[in-house]
Amino acid sequence: METKPGPDLTSTPLTSLMEALTLTTGMVEAVSLLALGSVFTAMQTGNVLFFGFALVGEGSASAVATSVSLGSFAAGALLGARLESAMEARKRRWLVLALIMESALLAVAAFTAWGLVRADGAPSARHIAVVALVALAMGMRNVTAMRAHVPDLPTTLVTRTITALVSGSSLGHDTALGYGSGASARRGVAVLAMFTGGILGAWLLHLHWSPTGVLLLVAAVVLAVAAAVATTSRHRPPPTM
């Protein structure tokens, strides 16, 4: 199916805002892995493997937590797809609303985690409830990032970005993967943002911040990104993929 050509988002402030969202993913996964148990809430590739390990009784991952995260993530992707496509059909700014909803879900997750101690062994029912809410938000985030379609910034994973960064560099010299396109800087920033977010989240937990505090900070950053998108006159609704 043909799509109309959209604006070049690589030269808009949206690129920087998506980098900020990539940083928050690192913070979210720091909370997930270090405080909620051996479970991912954004990078679901890890959960597919953890779930398999748990089913045969190997490793520390919980089959319940990983399966809940996978299911909630899928539900979030479904919710995001239906909501954002409906908003776009009505010519409304779906990106702003999607980010506001993500921020709200993260805030609810933060308050659900109020007073929660780090998971030691099998996660409790409340740990799993927080996992479900954060994974729901991250499922929506993935749809949002895919629809925004900013190159090299899916915001919740960096494997493909690292591959493109290396292959499209002066060492890889692969023109099919961006050599000579000037994309290396953007790709490098994307990887650095994820790394920095992971360090920041882990550091805050090391300083005895609660999961609630870290998740509220992430929710605030996402809300700030929504406000920035809403007030950026150069941004127009991205094309439908």
pLDDT value, residue 34: 94
Out of 8-22, 110-124, 125-139, 205-219, least confident range: 8-22
pLDDT value, residue 156: 86
More confident residue, 137 or 183: 137
Checking if the pLDDT of 240 tops 50, the result is no
Mean pLDDT of all residues in 131-135: 98
**Average predicted confidence (pLDDT) for the chain:** 87
Nearest to 129 by CA among 217, 60, 59, 65: 65
pLDDT more than 70, % of the chain:
89
pTM: 0.87
pLDDT value, residue 179: 67
Which residues have C-beta within 8 Å of that of residue 21, sequence separation ≥ 6? 141, 145, 155, 222, 225
pLDDT value, residue 233: 46
More confident residue, 154 or 219: 219
Domain-wise residue ranges, the chain? 13-231
Checking if the pLDDT of 6 tops 80, the result is no
Checking if the pLDDT of 67 tops 80, the result is yes
Checking if the pLDDT of 81 tops 50, the result is yes
More confident residue, 209 or 2: 209
Tell me the residue length of the chain: 241
Q: Which amino acid type is present at position 1?
A: M
Q: Could you tell me if residue 61 is left (phi over 0), alpha (psi between -120 and 50 degrees) or otherwise beta? A: beta
Considering the four listed CATH numbers 1.25.10, 1.20.1250, 1.10.287, 1.20.140, the one that applies to the domain covering 13-231 is 1.20.1250
Checking if the pLDDT of 162 tops 80, the result is yes
Read off the pLDDT band of 141 (50, 70, 90).
very high
pLDDT value, residue 163: 82
Q: Are 34 and 197 in contact (CB under 8 A)?
A: no
Residue-wise pLDDT for 11-46, tens only, equals: 468 889 999 999 999 999 999 999 999 899 999 999
Instruction: Report d(CA 151, CA 102) in Å as an integer.
Output: 21
pLDDT value, residue 12: 63
